[in-house]
Amino acid sequence: MPLLVAAALYAAGYARRAQHTGPVRADIVGAGGFACGMLTVALALVWPLDAYAAYALSAHVAQHMTLLALAPPLLLAGRPGATMAAAITGAGRAHRLPRWLDGAAGALAPATVAHVGILLAWHLPAATSAALASEPVHRAMNASVLLAGLWFWSAVWRRLRARDGGAVGGLVALVTAMMMMGFLGALLTFAPRLLYPAYSDRTLLLGIDPARDQQLAGLLMWVPSGLPYLAVGLVLAVTLLRHPDPASAQPMRD
C-alpha cells in the first residue's frame, strides 16, 4: 500500500510539472530512474525476494542489498520528495524541501554511520532470527534498511553535484561502506561453520544445502552489491579531478 501511495503521488507531481514546463524540463530521465527504483523496491518487498528471504539466507541478503544499495540511488534520481510536494501543493514545479530536512538529508557522516550500522545490526544472527520469528520485526527491519539506504545515498548525491571539493567526503563514505560490506561478505563466504542456525531447516525445505546458501549470501554481499558504490565512487573521482578543491590550489605562504 505505501508503495502505491508513493507511486501515485510521484506520478501526480510529475504530471503537474510536465503540464506547466513540458516533459523534457520535468526530467524524463529522473522519472525513469524513479520508476526503476519503485520496481526494484517491489521486487524486494513484494515478490520474489521477500517470499524467499524467509527460507534462504541468500535471498535475505539479496533483499537487503537491493534496499540498501540499488533502489535508493534509482529513487533519488527522480527527486521524489520535491516532486511529490508538487502534487500535494498543486504547484507546477518541484518544491525545495524544508531547510531542516534538506540539511539532515545531506549530513554525510551520520548517514554513513547509520548505513553501516543498520547493515551490521540486522545481520547479527540474533537479529535475523528475531525477524524470522516476528512479522512486525521483519517489517521494521526492511523499513530501516530502506531508510538507511535513502539517507546515505541522498547525502552522497549532494557530493555528486558539488563543485567545491565535497567529492572527497563522498568517496570516503563510499569506501567505508564498501569495506564493511566486503568484510561481512567475506565472513559469510569463508566461515567454517553455519552462522545462522535459524535458516538451517528452512533452507533444506528449498532443497538447498545451508552451507552453500551461506556462501552464496556472502558472495552476493561481497561482489555485486558493491558495484553501485564503485560506480558512483568513480563518478565522484572524475568530478574531483575536474573540479579540485580551490583551497588545495592556493600557493603556500610563509
Q: Name the nearest CA neighbour of 30 among 73, 88, 86.
A: 73
How far is the first Cα of the chain from the last one, in angstroms, to the nearest whole number?
A: 64
- DSSP for 98-162, please give it: PHHHHHHHT-HHHHHHHHHHHHHHTTSHHHHHHHHH-HHHHHHHHHHHHHHHHHHHHHHHHHHH-
Q: Give me the residue label for grid cell 567529492.
A: 167
CA distance 133 to 155: 34
Question: Which pLDDT score, from 0 to 100, does residue 237 have?
Answer: 84
Counting every residue, how long is the chain? 254
Low-confidence ranges of the chain (pLDDT < 70): 1, 21-26, 90-102, 161-165, 243-254
Tell me the pTM.
Answer: 0.87
Question: Which pLDDT score, from 0 to 100, does residue 84 have?
Answer: 84
Domain assignment of residue 228, given as a range: 2-245
Q: Name the nearest CA neighbour of 57 among 132, 7, 142, 116.
A: 132
In-domain check, residue 169: yes
The 8-class DSSP code of residue 94 comes to: P
Question: Which pLDDT score, from 0 to 100, does residue 96 have?
Answer: 62
In-domain check, residue 128: yes
Give Cα separations from 69 to 92, 149, 229 (angstroms). 31, 6, 7
What's the grid cell of residue 114?
Answer: 547509520
Burial of residue 222 (CB within 10 Å: 0-12, 13-18, 19+) is: buried
In-domain check, residue 236: yes
Q: Give me the residue label for grid cell 519503485.
A: 38
The per-residue pLDDT for range 134-176, each reduced to its tens digit, is: 999 999 999 999 999 999 999 998 887 665 557 788 999 999 9
Q: Give me the residue label for grid cell 545490526.
A: 121
In-domain check, residue 254: no
In-domain check, residue 252: no
CA distance 69 to 227: 9
In-domain check, residue 250: no
In-domain check, residue 80: yes
Q: Name the nearest CA neighbour of 83 among 40, 151, 30.
A: 30
Question: Which pLDDT score, from 0 to 100, does residue 162 have?
Answer: 62
In-domain check, residue 58: yes
Question: Which pLDDT score, from 0 to 100, does residue 246 have?
Answer: 47
Number of domains in the chain: 1
